[in-house]
Structure 1
Amino acid sequence: MRILIVEDEAIAARRLRKMVEALEPGSKIESVLGSVASTVQWLQANPAPDLLLLDIELSDGQSFEIFAQLDVSCPVIFTTAYDEHAIKAFRLNSVDYLLKPIQEKELQRSLLKLRNMKKVFTNKAPNLVNIEALLQEINQQRTPVTDLYRDRILVKQGQRMFPVICQEVAYFFTKEKVSFLRTKDSRCFQVDFTMEELERLLNPKDFFRANRQFIVNFAAIAKVSQELNAKLKISLTPDPEEEIMISREKAMEFRAWLGE
Protein backbone atom coordinates (compact mmCIF):
# COMPACT_ATOMS: atom_id res chain seq x y z
CA MET A 1 0.00 0.00 0.00
CA ARG A 2 1.30 3.44 -0.99
CA ILE A 3 0.71 5.98 1.78
CA LEU A 4 1.10 9.75 1.83
CA ILE A 5 1.43 11.35 5.28
CA VAL A 6 0.58 15.02 5.70
CA GLU A 7 1.49 16.31 9.17
CA ASP A 8 3.26 19.58 9.97
CA GLU A 9 4.47 18.65 13.48
CA ALA A 10 7.80 16.83 13.11
CA ILE A 11 7.45 14.70 16.25
CA ALA A 12 3.90 13.67 15.39
CA ALA A 13 4.93 12.88 11.81
CA ARG A 14 7.80 10.64 12.93
CA ARG A 15 5.58 8.87 15.43
CA LEU A 16 2.84 8.32 12.86
CA ARG A 17 5.34 7.01 10.32
CA LYS A 18 6.74 4.52 12.85
CA MET A 19 3.27 3.25 13.70
CA VAL A 20 2.34 2.83 10.03
CA GLU A 21 5.57 0.95 9.31
CA ALA A 22 4.95 -1.32 12.31
CA LEU A 23 1.30 -2.01 11.44
CA GLU A 24 1.75 -2.21 7.65
CA PRO A 25 5.29 -3.52 7.10
CA GLY A 26 4.66 -4.02 3.37
CA SER A 27 3.52 -0.46 2.81
CA LYS A 28 5.54 2.34 1.20
CA ILE A 29 5.54 5.84 2.66
CA GLU A 30 5.59 7.94 -0.49
CA SER A 31 6.36 11.19 1.32
CA VAL A 32 5.79 13.13 4.55
CA LEU A 33 4.51 16.64 3.85
CA GLY A 34 3.57 19.55 6.11
CA SER A 35 1.53 22.07 4.15
CA VAL A 36 -1.45 22.52 1.86
CA ALA A 37 0.77 23.84 -0.95
CA SER A 38 3.26 20.98 -0.88
CA THR A 39 0.45 18.41 -0.75
CA VAL A 40 -1.34 19.93 -3.73
CA GLN A 41 1.95 20.00 -5.65
CA TRP A 42 2.70 16.37 -4.80
CA LEU A 43 -0.78 15.14 -5.73
CA GLN A 44 -0.62 16.98 -9.04
CA ALA A 45 2.75 15.45 -9.91
CA ASN A 46 2.17 11.86 -8.74
CA PRO A 47 -0.40 9.07 -9.06
CA ALA A 48 -2.94 9.07 -6.23
CA PRO A 49 -1.71 7.09 -3.20
CA ASP A 50 -3.67 4.18 -1.78
CA LEU A 51 -4.19 6.13 1.44
CA LEU A 52 -3.85 9.75 2.52
CA LEU A 53 -3.17 10.29 6.24
CA LEU A 54 -4.14 13.93 6.54
CA ASP A 55 -3.84 16.36 9.43
CA ILE A 56 -6.55 19.03 9.43
CA GLU A 57 -4.56 22.02 10.70
CA LEU A 58 -1.43 22.55 8.58
CA SER A 59 1.24 25.23 8.54
CA ASP A 60 -0.44 27.23 5.77
CA GLY A 61 -4.13 26.54 6.41
CA GLN A 62 -6.72 23.79 6.78
CA SER A 63 -6.19 20.67 4.72
CA PHE A 64 -9.74 20.95 3.35
CA GLU A 65 -8.30 23.54 0.98
CA ILE A 66 -6.57 20.65 -0.80
CA PHE A 67 -9.96 19.23 -1.78
CA ALA A 68 -11.11 22.62 -3.01
CA GLN A 69 -8.17 22.71 -5.43
CA LEU A 70 -8.04 19.06 -6.50
CA ASP A 71 -10.31 16.12 -7.14
CA VAL A 72 -8.82 13.82 -4.50
CA SER A 73 -9.77 10.27 -5.43
CA CYS A 74 -8.00 8.26 -2.74
CA PRO A 75 -9.34 7.25 0.70
CA VAL A 76 -8.50 9.62 3.53
CA ILE A 77 -7.93 9.14 7.25
CA PHE A 78 -8.05 12.50 8.98
CA THR A 79 -5.98 13.29 12.05
CA THR A 80 -7.14 16.11 14.27
CA ALA A 81 -6.67 17.87 17.60
CA TYR A 82 -10.41 18.40 17.99
CA ASP A 83 -13.01 16.25 19.68
CA GLU A 84 -15.56 13.91 18.17
CA HIS A 85 -18.39 16.45 18.14
CA ALA A 86 -16.34 18.94 16.14
CA ILE A 87 -15.80 16.54 13.27
CA LYS A 88 -19.10 14.68 13.10
CA ALA A 89 -19.82 16.32 9.72
CA PHE A 90 -17.28 14.17 7.90
CA ARG A 91 -17.10 11.02 10.01
CA LEU A 92 -19.20 9.03 7.56
CA ASN A 93 -17.63 10.46 4.41
CA SER A 94 -13.99 9.67 5.11
CA VAL A 95 -12.52 6.29 5.99
CA ASP A 96 -12.01 7.41 9.58
CA TYR A 97 -10.56 10.09 11.79
CA LEU A 98 -7.97 9.84 14.54
CA LEU A 99 -7.91 12.14 17.54
CA LYS A 100 -4.45 13.34 18.55
CA PRO A 101 -2.34 12.09 20.17
CA ILE A 102 -2.85 9.13 17.88
CA GLN A 103 -2.88 5.72 19.55
CA GLU A 104 -1.53 2.67 17.74
CA LYS A 105 -4.68 0.61 18.37
CA GLU A 106 -6.83 3.34 16.84
CA LEU A 107 -4.61 3.54 13.76
CA GLN A 108 -4.76 -0.25 13.47
CA ARG A 109 -8.55 -0.09 13.60
CA SER A 110 -8.62 2.55 10.86
CA LEU A 111 -6.32 0.54 8.59
CA LEU A 112 -8.50 -2.53 9.09
CA LYS A 113 -11.55 -0.46 8.20
CA LEU A 114 -9.77 0.70 5.04
CA ARG A 115 -9.01 -2.87 4.00
CA ASN A 116 -12.67 -3.79 4.51
CA MET A 117 -13.75 -0.82 2.40
CA LYS A 118 -11.10 -0.99 -0.31
CA LYS A 119 -13.51 -2.25 -2.97
CA VAL A 120 -15.44 1.00 -2.62
CA PHE A 121 -12.48 3.15 -3.63
CA THR A 122 -11.37 3.40 -7.24
CA ASN A 123 -9.35 5.90 -9.22
CA LYS A 124 -12.64 7.31 -10.48
CA ALA A 125 -14.16 7.70 -7.03
CA PRO A 126 -15.77 11.09 -6.35
CA ASN A 127 -14.43 13.54 -3.82
CA LEU A 128 -14.70 11.91 -0.41
CA VAL A 129 -15.78 14.95 1.58
CA ASN A 130 -18.10 17.93 1.34
CA ILE A 131 -15.56 20.71 1.95
CA GLU A 132 -18.01 23.56 2.48
CA ALA A 133 -20.01 21.59 5.05
CA LEU A 134 -16.83 20.50 6.79
CA LEU A 135 -15.50 24.03 7.15
CA GLN A 136 -18.81 25.33 8.43
CA GLU A 137 -19.14 22.54 10.98
CA ILE A 138 -15.56 22.89 12.18
CA ASN A 139 -15.80 26.66 12.59
CA GLN A 140 -19.11 26.49 14.44
CA GLN A 141 -18.55 23.57 16.78
CA ARG A 142 -14.88 22.77 17.29
CA THR A 143 -13.45 22.91 20.78
CA PRO A 144 -9.69 23.07 21.31
CA VAL A 145 -8.41 19.85 22.80
CA THR A 146 -6.81 21.74 25.69
CA ASP A 147 -10.30 22.78 26.88
CA LEU A 148 -11.45 19.16 27.11
CA TYR A 149 -9.13 18.08 29.93
CA ARG A 150 -9.21 18.67 33.66
CA ASP A 151 -6.78 21.12 35.20
CA ARG A 152 -7.75 20.08 38.72
CA ILE A 153 -9.04 16.96 40.47
CA LEU A 154 -11.27 16.79 43.55
CA VAL A 155 -9.73 14.63 46.29
CA LYS A 156 -10.83 13.27 49.66
CA GLN A 157 -9.11 13.53 53.03
CA GLY A 158 -11.36 12.15 55.75
CA GLN A 159 -14.56 14.18 55.58
CA ARG A 160 -12.84 16.98 53.66
CA MET A 161 -12.87 17.42 49.91
CA PHE A 162 -10.70 19.91 48.03
CA PRO A 163 -9.16 20.33 44.55
CA VAL A 164 -5.60 19.49 43.58
CA ILE A 165 -4.10 21.14 40.49
CA CYS A 166 -3.21 18.42 37.97
CA GLN A 167 0.23 19.89 37.37
CA GLU A 168 0.98 19.26 41.06
CA VAL A 169 0.30 15.53 40.61
CA ALA A 170 3.29 13.24 40.10
CA TYR A 171 1.21 10.16 39.31
CA PHE A 172 -2.12 8.41 39.78
CA PHE A 173 -2.27 4.81 40.90
CA THR A 174 -4.79 2.17 41.87
CA LYS A 175 -4.71 -0.17 44.84
CA GLU A 176 -7.41 -2.74 45.60
CA LYS A 177 -9.65 -1.09 42.99
CA VAL A 178 -9.38 2.35 44.62
CA SER A 179 -7.68 5.24 42.80
CA PHE A 180 -5.20 7.59 44.44
CA LEU A 181 -2.94 10.44 43.42
CA ARG A 182 0.45 11.36 44.80
CA THR A 183 1.59 14.95 44.52
CA LYS A 184 5.08 16.10 43.67
CA ASP A 185 5.63 16.87 47.36
CA SER A 186 4.60 13.27 48.22
CA ARG A 187 1.12 13.85 49.62
CA CYS A 188 -1.34 11.04 48.82
CA PHE A 189 -5.10 11.41 48.34
CA GLN A 190 -7.99 9.23 47.24
CA VAL A 191 -9.89 10.22 44.10
CA ASP A 192 -13.35 9.18 42.96
CA PHE A 193 -12.39 8.34 39.37
CA THR A 194 -11.37 5.01 37.90
CA MET A 195 -8.07 4.81 36.05
CA GLU A 196 -9.98 4.59 32.78
CA GLU A 197 -11.90 7.79 33.60
CA LEU A 198 -8.70 9.56 34.62
CA GLU A 199 -7.04 8.53 31.36
CA ARG A 200 -9.82 10.30 29.46
CA LEU A 201 -9.87 13.36 31.72
CA LEU A 202 -6.13 14.10 31.83
CA ASN A 203 -4.22 15.94 29.12
CA PRO A 204 -2.22 13.26 27.23
CA LYS A 205 0.56 15.75 26.59
CA ASP A 206 1.30 15.67 30.33
CA PHE A 207 0.07 12.25 31.49
CA PHE A 208 0.67 8.74 30.16
CA ARG A 209 -1.07 5.47 31.11
CA ALA A 210 2.03 3.40 31.84
CA ASN A 211 0.12 0.23 32.75
CA ARG A 212 -3.05 -0.87 34.51
CA GLN A 213 -1.87 0.52 37.85
CA PHE A 214 -0.18 3.83 36.98
CA ILE A 215 -0.78 7.07 35.07
CA VAL A 216 2.38 9.17 35.25
CA ASN A 217 3.15 12.86 34.81
CA PHE A 218 5.97 13.63 32.39
CA ALA A 219 7.53 15.93 34.98
CA ALA A 220 7.76 13.10 37.54
CA ILE A 221 9.85 10.75 35.37
CA ALA A 222 13.37 10.50 36.79
CA LYS A 223 14.78 7.65 34.68
CA VAL A 224 13.80 5.16 31.98
CA SER A 225 15.61 1.83 31.74
CA GLN A 226 15.58 -0.75 28.94
CA GLU A 227 14.62 -4.20 30.25
CA LEU A 228 14.43 -7.68 28.75
CA ASN A 229 11.94 -8.40 25.96
CA ALA A 230 11.95 -4.71 24.93
CA LYS A 231 10.08 -3.67 28.06
CA LEU A 232 10.82 -0.37 29.79
CA LYS A 233 11.10 0.39 33.49
CA ILE A 234 10.48 3.91 34.70
CA SER A 235 11.59 5.54 37.94
CA LEU A 236 9.47 8.33 39.38
CA THR A 237 9.90 11.16 41.84
CA PRO A 238 8.57 10.71 44.48
CA ASP A 239 9.37 7.00 44.53
CA PRO A 240 6.23 4.79 44.45
CA GLU A 241 8.28 1.98 46.04
CA GLU A 242 7.32 -0.52 43.37
CA GLU A 243 8.51 -1.24 39.86
CA ILE A 244 6.61 0.44 37.06
CA MET A 245 6.97 -1.54 33.86
CA ILE A 246 5.83 -0.60 30.38
CA SER A 247 5.05 -3.50 28.10
CA ARG A 248 6.80 -4.13 24.83
CA GLU A 249 3.55 -3.27 23.03
CA LYS A 250 3.35 0.18 24.64
CA ALA A 251 7.08 0.93 24.64
CA MET A 252 7.14 2.61 21.21
CA GLU A 253 4.15 4.78 22.09
CA PHE A 254 5.78 5.77 25.40
CA ARG A 255 9.09 6.64 23.77
CA ALA A 256 7.30 8.80 21.22
CA TRP A 257 5.39 10.52 24.04
CA LEU A 258 8.71 11.30 25.72
CA GLY A 259 9.81 13.05 22.54
CA GLU A 260 11.77 10.45 20.58
Structure 2
Amino acid sequence: MTILIIEDETIAARQLKNMVLKAEADAEVVGVLDGVATSVQWLSSHPAPDLILMDIELVDGQSFEIFGQVDVKSPVIFTTAYDEFALKAFRVNSIDYLLKPIEETALRRSLLKFRQLKEVYGAPGPLQQIENLISELGRRAMPAGTYRDRFLVRQGQRLIPVGAGEVAYFFSQNKASFIRTYDNRLFHLDYTLDELEENLNPQHFYRANRQFIVSHKAVEKLHFYFNNKLKVELRPAVEEEVLVSREKATAFRRWLGE
Protein backbone atom coordinates (compact mmCIF):
# COMPACT_ATOMS: atom_id res chain seq x y z
CA MET A 1 0.00 0.00 0.00
CA THR A 2 1.53 3.32 -1.07
CA ILE A 3 0.92 6.31 1.20
CA LEU A 4 1.70 9.99 0.69
CA ILE A 5 2.05 12.18 3.79
CA ILE A 6 1.32 15.90 3.52
CA GLU A 7 2.32 17.55 6.81
CA ASP A 8 4.19 20.81 7.42
CA GLU A 9 5.51 20.03 10.91
CA THR A 10 8.72 18.01 10.68
CA ILE A 11 8.34 16.21 14.01
CA ALA A 12 4.66 15.42 13.39
CA ALA A 13 5.48 14.11 9.91
CA ARG A 14 8.21 11.84 11.28
CA GLN A 15 5.94 10.52 14.03
CA LEU A 16 3.10 9.91 11.58
CA LYS A 17 5.40 8.06 9.18
CA ASN A 18 6.67 5.83 11.99
CA MET A 19 3.12 5.05 13.15
CA VAL A 20 2.05 4.16 9.61
CA LEU A 21 4.99 1.80 9.08
CA LYS A 22 4.33 0.20 12.44
CA ALA A 23 0.60 -0.22 11.77
CA GLU A 24 0.89 -1.50 8.19
CA ALA A 25 3.60 -4.04 7.40
CA ASP A 26 3.21 -3.58 3.64
CA ALA A 27 3.00 0.23 3.72
CA GLU A 28 5.39 2.28 1.62
CA VAL A 29 5.57 6.02 2.32
CA VAL A 30 6.25 7.42 -1.14
CA GLY A 31 6.69 11.03 -0.07
CA VAL A 32 6.48 13.56 2.75
CA LEU A 33 5.45 17.06 1.63
CA ASP A 34 4.90 20.27 3.56
CA GLY A 35 2.91 22.62 1.34
CA VAL A 36 0.21 23.19 -1.25
CA ALA A 37 2.62 23.99 -4.08
CA THR A 38 4.88 21.00 -3.48
CA SER A 39 1.85 18.71 -3.18
CA VAL A 40 0.33 19.93 -6.44
CA GLN A 41 3.67 19.44 -8.19
CA TRP A 42 4.11 15.94 -6.76
CA LEU A 43 0.56 14.80 -7.55
CA SER A 44 0.88 16.15 -11.09
CA SER A 45 4.04 14.18 -11.80
CA HIS A 46 3.64 10.88 -9.91
CA PRO A 47 1.20 7.97 -10.00
CA ALA A 48 -1.66 8.37 -7.53
CA PRO A 49 -0.84 6.75 -4.17
CA ASP A 50 -3.29 4.32 -2.61
CA LEU A 51 -3.94 6.74 0.25
CA ILE A 52 -3.02 10.28 1.33
CA LEU A 53 -2.59 11.41 4.93
CA MET A 54 -3.12 15.16 4.71
CA ASP A 55 -2.76 17.94 7.25
CA ILE A 56 -5.01 20.96 6.64
CA GLU A 57 -2.88 23.94 7.71
CA LEU A 58 0.26 23.85 5.54
CA VAL A 59 3.20 26.22 5.14
CA ASP A 60 1.67 28.05 2.16
CA GLY A 61 -2.08 27.66 2.70
CA GLN A 62 -4.79 25.14 3.45
CA SER A 63 -4.65 21.72 1.84
CA PHE A 64 -8.17 22.18 0.41
CA GLU A 65 -6.49 24.43 -2.19
CA ILE A 66 -4.77 21.34 -3.60
CA PHE A 67 -8.09 19.93 -4.83
CA GLY A 68 -8.73 23.04 -6.90
CA GLN A 69 -5.35 22.85 -8.65
CA VAL A 70 -4.91 19.15 -9.39
CA ASP A 71 -7.15 16.13 -9.83
CA VAL A 72 -6.69 14.22 -6.55
CA LYS A 73 -7.52 10.60 -7.36
CA SER A 74 -6.69 9.06 -3.98
CA PRO A 75 -8.81 8.72 -0.84
CA VAL A 76 -7.68 11.05 1.94
CA ILE A 77 -7.41 10.83 5.72
CA PHE A 78 -7.18 14.36 7.08
CA THR A 79 -4.99 15.06 10.12
CA THR A 80 -5.38 18.36 11.94
CA ALA A 81 -5.46 20.04 15.32
CA TYR A 82 -8.74 21.77 14.47
CA ASP A 83 -12.19 20.17 14.28
CA GLU A 84 -13.74 23.18 12.51
CA PHE A 85 -12.72 21.80 9.10
CA ALA A 86 -14.58 18.48 9.37
CA LEU A 87 -17.52 19.52 7.20
CA LYS A 88 -15.29 20.82 4.42
CA ALA A 89 -13.11 17.71 4.59
CA PHE A 90 -16.02 15.40 3.86
CA ARG A 91 -16.87 17.38 0.74
CA VAL A 92 -13.70 16.16 -0.90
CA ASN A 93 -12.12 12.69 -0.96
CA SER A 94 -12.07 12.19 2.81
CA ILE A 95 -12.63 8.81 4.44
CA ASP A 96 -11.69 9.97 7.93
CA TYR A 97 -10.68 12.97 10.01
CA LEU A 98 -8.09 12.56 12.77
CA LEU A 99 -7.52 15.20 15.42
CA LYS A 100 -4.00 15.87 16.68
CA PRO A 101 -2.25 14.64 18.69
CA ILE A 102 -2.92 11.50 16.68
CA GLU A 103 -3.17 8.31 18.69
CA GLU A 104 -1.87 5.08 17.22
CA THR A 105 -5.18 3.28 17.84
CA ALA A 106 -7.11 5.99 15.99
CA LEU A 107 -4.73 5.79 13.02
CA ARG A 108 -5.06 1.99 12.95
CA ARG A 109 -8.86 2.32 12.85
CA SER A 110 -8.66 4.74 9.94
CA LEU A 111 -6.29 2.50 7.99
CA LEU A 112 -8.54 -0.49 8.67
CA LYS A 113 -11.53 1.49 7.43
CA PHE A 114 -9.66 2.25 4.22
CA ARG A 115 -8.74 -1.40 3.69
CA GLN A 116 -12.31 -2.59 4.32
CA LEU A 117 -13.80 -0.09 1.87
CA LYS A 118 -11.17 -0.95 -0.71
CA GLU A 119 -11.86 -4.69 -0.38
CA VAL A 120 -15.63 -4.31 -0.65
CA TYR A 121 -15.75 -1.72 -3.43
CA GLY A 122 -12.60 -2.56 -5.32
CA ALA A 123 -12.63 -3.71 -8.95
CA PRO A 124 -10.10 -5.40 -11.27
CA GLY A 125 -8.82 -2.16 -12.78
CA PRO A 126 -7.11 0.47 -10.60
CA LEU A 127 -9.06 3.38 -12.10
CA GLN A 128 -12.40 1.66 -11.54
CA GLN A 129 -11.29 0.73 -8.03
CA ILE A 130 -10.58 4.34 -7.16
CA GLU A 131 -13.81 5.51 -8.77
CA ASN A 132 -15.94 2.98 -6.88
CA LEU A 133 -14.19 3.67 -3.60
CA ILE A 134 -14.54 7.44 -3.78
CA SER A 135 -18.16 7.20 -4.91
CA GLU A 136 -18.96 5.07 -1.89
CA LEU A 137 -17.09 7.44 0.41
CA GLY A 138 -19.23 10.24 -0.90
CA ARG A 139 -22.37 8.29 -0.03
CA ARG A 140 -21.26 7.23 3.46
CA ALA A 141 -18.94 9.87 4.83
CA MET A 142 -20.81 13.15 4.48
CA PRO A 143 -22.42 14.37 7.69
CA ALA A 144 -26.20 14.62 7.77
CA GLY A 145 -27.59 17.93 6.57
CA THR A 146 -24.72 18.69 4.18
CA TYR A 147 -24.82 18.66 0.40
CA ARG A 148 -22.42 17.48 -2.27
CA ASP A 149 -20.66 20.27 -4.11
CA ARG A 150 -18.50 18.15 -6.43
CA PHE A 151 -18.53 14.80 -8.20
CA LEU A 152 -15.72 12.67 -9.58
CA VAL A 153 -16.61 11.45 -13.06
CA ARG A 154 -14.77 9.35 -15.60
CA GLN A 155 -13.40 10.93 -18.76
CA GLY A 156 -11.59 8.29 -20.77
CA GLN A 157 -8.91 6.87 -18.48
CA ARG A 158 -9.00 9.84 -16.11
CA LEU A 159 -11.20 10.92 -13.22
CA ILE A 160 -12.09 14.61 -13.19
CA PRO A 161 -14.03 16.69 -10.65
CA VAL A 162 -17.25 18.38 -11.73
CA GLY A 163 -18.63 21.03 -9.39
CA ALA A 164 -22.33 21.06 -8.58
CA GLY A 165 -22.41 24.63 -9.87
CA GLU A 166 -21.42 23.36 -13.33
CA VAL A 167 -24.35 20.92 -13.54
CA ALA A 168 -27.40 21.93 -15.58
CA TYR A 169 -29.29 18.74 -14.84
CA PHE A 170 -29.01 15.09 -13.88
CA PHE A 171 -31.01 12.51 -15.78
CA SER A 172 -31.52 8.77 -16.01
CA GLN A 173 -31.61 6.72 -19.18
CA ASN A 174 -31.68 2.94 -19.55
CA LYS A 175 -31.14 2.53 -15.77
CA ALA A 176 -27.98 4.68 -15.83
CA SER A 177 -27.49 8.20 -14.47
CA PHE A 178 -25.81 11.10 -16.26
CA ILE A 179 -24.69 14.69 -15.73
CA ARG A 180 -25.21 17.36 -18.36
CA THR A 181 -23.18 20.50 -17.69
CA TYR A 182 -23.97 24.05 -18.78
CA ASP A 183 -21.26 23.83 -21.44
CA ASN A 184 -22.98 20.69 -22.79
CA ARG A 185 -20.54 18.06 -21.55
CA LEU A 186 -22.02 14.67 -20.72
CA PHE A 187 -20.74 12.34 -18.00
CA HIS A 188 -21.87 9.03 -16.58
CA LEU A 189 -22.42 9.11 -12.82
CA ASP A 190 -22.36 6.21 -10.36
CA TYR A 191 -25.42 7.37 -8.39
CA THR A 192 -29.14 6.81 -8.75
CA LEU A 193 -31.37 9.87 -8.98
CA ASP A 194 -32.85 8.91 -5.61
CA GLU A 195 -29.37 9.07 -4.05
CA LEU A 196 -28.63 12.34 -5.78
CA GLU A 197 -31.87 13.89 -4.59
CA GLU A 198 -30.87 13.20 -0.99
CA ASN A 199 -27.42 14.79 -1.40
CA LEU A 200 -28.13 17.88 -3.51
CA ASN A 201 -28.98 21.32 -2.16
CA PRO A 202 -32.77 21.69 -2.65
CA GLN A 203 -32.37 25.43 -3.14
CA HIS A 204 -30.43 24.77 -6.34
CA PHE A 205 -31.83 21.45 -7.62
CA TYR A 206 -35.35 20.07 -7.99
CA ARG A 207 -36.58 16.56 -8.82
CA ALA A 208 -38.83 17.45 -11.74
CA ASN A 209 -39.86 13.84 -12.40
CA ARG A 210 -38.50 10.30 -12.26
CA GLN A 211 -35.99 10.99 -15.05
CA PHE A 212 -34.73 14.53 -14.31
CA ILE A 213 -33.24 16.59 -11.50
CA VAL A 214 -32.86 20.14 -12.81
CA SER A 215 -30.90 23.14 -11.58
CA HIS A 216 -32.41 26.58 -11.12
CA LYS A 217 -30.35 28.19 -13.87
CA ALA A 218 -31.02 25.45 -16.42
CA VAL A 219 -34.76 26.21 -16.63
CA GLU A 220 -35.17 28.33 -19.77
CA LYS A 221 -38.97 28.42 -19.99
CA LEU A 222 -42.12 26.83 -18.60
CA HIS A 223 -45.10 25.90 -20.73
CA PHE A 224 -48.56 25.02 -19.49
CA TYR A 225 -49.37 21.49 -20.57
CA PHE A 226 -52.32 19.12 -20.76
CA ASN A 227 -54.04 18.18 -17.48
CA ASN A 228 -52.37 21.04 -15.52
CA LYS A 229 -48.87 19.68 -16.01
CA LEU A 230 -45.85 21.85 -16.78
CA LYS A 231 -43.47 21.34 -19.67
CA VAL A 232 -39.94 22.46 -18.82
CA GLU A 233 -37.60 23.83 -21.47
CA LEU A 234 -34.01 23.29 -20.38
CA ARG A 235 -30.67 24.75 -21.36
CA PRO A 236 -28.83 22.80 -22.79
CA ALA A 237 -31.84 21.44 -24.66
CA VAL A 238 -33.03 17.84 -24.41
CA GLU A 239 -34.83 15.84 -27.07
CA GLU A 240 -37.50 14.31 -24.85
CA GLU A 241 -40.23 16.26 -23.10
CA VAL A 242 -39.51 17.13 -19.47
CA LEU A 243 -42.86 17.20 -17.71
CA VAL A 244 -43.73 18.16 -14.14
CA SER A 245 -46.84 16.45 -12.82
CA ARG A 246 -49.96 18.32 -11.80
CA GLU A 247 -49.25 17.40 -8.17
CA LYS A 248 -45.76 18.93 -8.32
CA ALA A 249 -46.50 21.90 -10.58
CA THR A 250 -47.32 24.44 -7.87
CA ALA A 251 -44.32 23.50 -5.72
CA PHE A 252 -42.03 23.60 -8.76
CA ARG A 253 -43.17 27.09 -9.73
CA ARG A 254 -42.72 28.24 -6.14
CA TRP A 255 -39.19 26.78 -6.05
CA LEU A 256 -38.33 28.44 -9.35
CA GLY A 257 -39.50 31.82 -8.07
CA GLU A 258 -37.43 31.70 -4.88
TM-score relative to the length of structure 2: 0.47
TM-score relative to the length of structure 1: 0.46
